[in-house]
Structure 1
């Protein structure tokens, strides 16, 4: 850095050298009795906000401490659940013995059993309260982490990236720890991932906003993201993303894990169009990845497409009677909506024959053909989006600018539809992608360029949920 004294020396020695330069003015120099020179310097406005970066680093440290606390709580919850499960099993066995031979037990012994039941109920209620607090803390931490990534992205785009790099690394470590904490939390409170032994969705968590998409461009409002619903061995942590400024689908990027998704470092980006001989482009938003294969709406002819990312080969099948006139409420081009759940692969659409009512088709994955068809009673253009869980269709609609509602379900096992009201918070007013993933029981939403997700909680068949 040039010192003020040196600048002054240069200035006085050759004032002509500075003619025409705005930052320094000939009339600004003064020489005192001691022959010392002072100059006015006009510094640029874009000084790196070190204070803001230090504040971020302190926040990361604080959040890290919170996460350490939550992880220790989860470890405690795990041990308590093991103990309580053992107590319940022993109590169940004792009650069974009493029921089989009630005359062998006195009234006093039966009262003792009742006391044991009440004690166990009290323990479960205590654990339930702790879990609810822990859930709220994790949601709060997720919001703080989202704020951090927004600030980091702004700093990185505006100032020297190298100065932000250390903080970003710390953030990534924090993000990984948060994901691990949420995963363990999810495993405890959704221990039967892949099981359908429940009575359907009871509620959704607050929206968890990961960050702006891989293009760092909110103009890419069409797209989707998530995980493979039935991953190949070794690809269980893989994520995918596809985003576009319009409804034309021409590529999909896959990421080794969540870290690489956030760092925008794809393992590979698959192009669906190379030349006229290999044109596998699609249209719309509601595509999914299953068995490392992209299922999507093929562009021409109007049909369902299947593109294998491993072999880079595709095939399409026309859906009998499917119409391209009935899209979802939030955007056009969403005529074929693919979904995957614990029971397999599905496609949602409408027909002229159904007069726009939503039709659900079960796909035979091996033959890539329609296996069974169900007609619902809801008008597809009135639906915000739809997804499948355990053979049950869930349809959403807007309540207001901040609230969405699951308002209708259709059970393929009973062939019956019903109206419900499960409200959840939207990140923004509209969105174009919403799909459930059975591998982690999460909903993945693509919301005007942002990655958004929700934890899904189910109503237990036999006991009240702990959370």
Structure 2
């Protein structure tokens, strides 16, 4: 009987422990279900918030795209307005340009009157009936960048010749010859050029190529103008320029003591002397003999001049600033007295904000061959008759 009681007691104890374990497990399961429910609720909320954030970001990105397009259109409009203002400023500068930098006093006026009277007594005998002058510069084309910051390039001005000649630098004895403009533009550096070795070195950037001859300046104690036959590689002639104590013709290009030029009437020399060091002088030369035919003193200042060229017997002097700005023709001198400097329009070059070390006019093409900080540039000119001014 006592054994039965013990068994019953043990069975009751086991049943109670089993029930306690089941209750514990149920409580744990309920806690886990609560946590799972909480995680599910939080996940649902986070997904909803992320979806709303994505919608907001998409909306903001669309607004940014619209604002970007509006800004681009505004910038295009501003660019158009700036271009229009620049064209209007260019027009106003051309129509109402600054007067040449010439000090006017009584002595200078007397000198001008005396000079005019002397010119009237001895007019220059033109070699042609050319009466064109620059109206404006139509276009600029940058062909290439080769060589140093200073130099000269040109095409032979004789009819039918398409050869290009490069004087790289301001002191050398080599001329680079290209068969055509196409060879020049396609060449890697000077690889397609023929090197012409001279018997003497050239100085500055004031050289020209005219009728299969290179006319270059050799400067030592005096100025020598050398005529070099390109075909047979010989010096045809040379002459000492009859001016003592020369000074650089352009204050902004001090390497050039004399600048040679070619126009419809032949060969010219542009120079300056200590006797008239404030202003530029010009002389007509015989291209065959290198004799001086006639000489003129102009009222075009050397100060701030960077280059010059001659068209139809008219000298055009180009000015700039010491810190390169915008080049402009601000002074001219007509040896035929058909146009005065006061009547001539002020001509601005297209904007590059560089400095020309040389400008060479080709009368066959009515183009200017320019060297600007190592760039070889062509300027297309628009001409008009001098008598229309």
Structure 2 contact 167–205 (Cα < 8 Å) conserved: no
The structural deviation recorded for 1:426 is: 4.2
The structural deviation recorded for 1:212 is: 0.9
Q: Deviations over 1:169-224 (max 9, x none)?
A: xxxxxxxxxxxxxxxxxxxxxxxxx97243x21101232101112x5xxxx11211
**1:388 maps onto 2:313 in alignment:** no
The structural deviation recorded for 1:249 is: 2.9
**Match among 274, 285, 293 for residue 352 of structure 1:** 274
**1:437 maps onto 2:362 in alignment:** yes
More strand by share: 2
- Which residue of the partner structure matches residue 94 of structure 1? none
| Structure 1 gap ranges (5+) | 1-193, 273-277
Q: Deviations over 1:107-157 (max 9, x none)?
A: xxxxxxxxxxxxxxxxxxxxxxxxxxxxxxxxxxxxxxxxxxxxxxxxxxx
Structure 1 residues 401 and 353: CA distance shift in structure 2, 3 A: closer
Structure 1 contact 362–373 (Cα < 8 Å) conserved: yes
**Match among 298, 318, 327 for residue 404 of structure 1:** 327
The structural deviation recorded for 1:460 is: 4.2
Of structures 1 and 2, the one scoring higher in RCO (CA 8 A, sep 6+) is: 2
**1:455 maps onto 2:377 in alignment:** no
Which whole-Å CA distance do the structure 2 matches of 1:402 and 1:261 have between them? Answer: 28
Structure 1 residues 371 and 195: CA distance shift in structure 2, 3 A: closer
**1:252 maps onto 2:172 in alignment:** no
Structure 1 contact 227–239 (Cα < 8 Å) conserved: yes
Q: Deviations over 1:29-70 (max 9, x none)?
A: xxxxxxxxxxxxxxxxxxxxxxxxxxxxxxxxxxxxxxxxxx
The structural deviation recorded for 1:248 is: 0.6
The structural deviation recorded for 1:374 is: 0.9
- Which residue of the partner structure matches residue 210 of structure 1? 143
* Structure-to-structure mapping, 1:117-132, within 5 angstroms: none
| Structure 2 gap ranges (5+) | 1-127
Structure 1 residues 271 and 428: CA distance shift in structure 2, 3 A: farther
The structural deviation recorded for 1:305 is: 1.9
Which whole-Å CA distance do the structure 2 matches of 1:391 and 1:238 have between them? Answer: 25
**1:337 maps onto 2:259 in alignment:** yes
Which whole-Å CA distance do the structure 2 matches of 1:462 and 1:352 have between them? Answer: 35
**Match among 308, 311, 329 for residue 229 of structure 2:** 308
CA RMSD after TM alignment = 2.6
The structural deviation recorded for 1:303 is: 1.9
Structure 1 residues 379 and 313: CA distance shift in structure 2, 3 A: same
Which whole-Å CA distance do the structure 2 matches of 1:445 and 1:407 have between them? Answer: 17
The structural deviation recorded for 1:424 is: 1.6
The structural deviation recorded for 1:463 is: 8.3
Q: Which has the larger radius of gyration?
A: 2
- Which residue of the partner structure matches residue 284 of structure 1? 204
Which whole-Å CA distance do the structure 2 matches of 1:306 and 1:367 have between them? Answer: 9
**1:225 maps onto 2:130 in alignment:** no
Which whole-Å CA distance do the structure 2 matches of 1:431 and 1:209 have between them? Answer: 13
The structural deviation recorded for 1:335 is: 1.1
Q: Deviations over 1:72-104 (max 9, x none)?
A: xxxxxxxxxxxxxxxxxxxxxxxxxxxxxxxxx
Which whole-Å CA distance do the structure 2 matches of 1:317 and 1:368 have between them? Answer: 6
- Which residue of the partner structure matches residue 161 of structure 2? 236
Which whole-Å CA distance do the structure 2 matches of 1:291 and 1:343 have between them? Answer: 13
Structure 1 contact 342–389 (Cα < 8 Å) conserved: yes
TM-score normalised over the length of structure 1? 0.51
- Which residue of the partner structure matches residue 269 of structure 1? 195
- 2:355 is paired with a residue whose SS is coil
- 2:262 is paired with a residue whose SS is strand
**Match among 409, 427, 437 for residue 352 of structure 2:** 427
- 1:335 is paired with a residue whose SS is coil
Q: Deviations over 1:331-380 (max 9, x none)?
A: 22211100000011000001222234211010012211111111101232
Aligned length: 255
TM-score normalised over the length of structure 2? 0.60
Structure 1 contact 376–417 (Cα < 8 Å) conserved: no
Structure 1 residues 457 and 356: CA distance shift in structure 2, 3 A: same
Which whole-Å CA distance do the structure 1 matches of 2:276 and 2:251 have between them? Answer: 17
Q: Deviations over 1:259-302 (max 9, x none)?
A: 11112254521012xxxxx4x11110111101121112113343
- 2:330 is paired with a residue whose SS is strand
Structure 2 contact 277–302 (Cα < 8 Å) conserved: no
